[in-house]
Copies of this chain bind each other. A is one copy, B any other.
Amino acid sequence: MANVPIKNKIRELRFFADEMTQKELAELVGVTRQTIMAIEKSKYSPTLEVAFKIAEVFGQSLEEVFQYEG
């Protein structure tokens, strides 16, 4: 599992969103800074719930934030 990591555009979206920091995003999402770090770097993929919350913060669809390459 986690064969092909899911890519994401969190970093780009953070900077596009007025240079939002990892800490700020973490607080808005309700997870820790380290969790955002790990997800942003594709160390592992988040739960669906966290993924939805991240997309919500940026006002984007889930697919715009996360890209799964089957």
Q: How large is the interface on A (under 10, 10 to 19, 20 to 34, 35 or more residues)?
A: 10 to 19
Interface code A34-70, partner B: CB below 8 Å = 1, 0 otherwise?
A: 0000000000011111011100100001110010101
**Copies of this chain held together in the complex:** 2
Q: Do residues B49 and A68 form an inter-chain contact, with CB atoms below 8 A? A: yes
- Cα–Cα, bound, A56→B52 (Å): 18
- Cα–Cα, bound, A48→B6 (Å): 8
Residues of B within 8 A of A61 (CB): 61, 63
Residues of B within 8 A of A45 (CB): 47-49
Residues of B within 8 A of A52 (CB): 6, 66, 68, 70
Residues of B within 8 A of A1 (CB): 30, 49
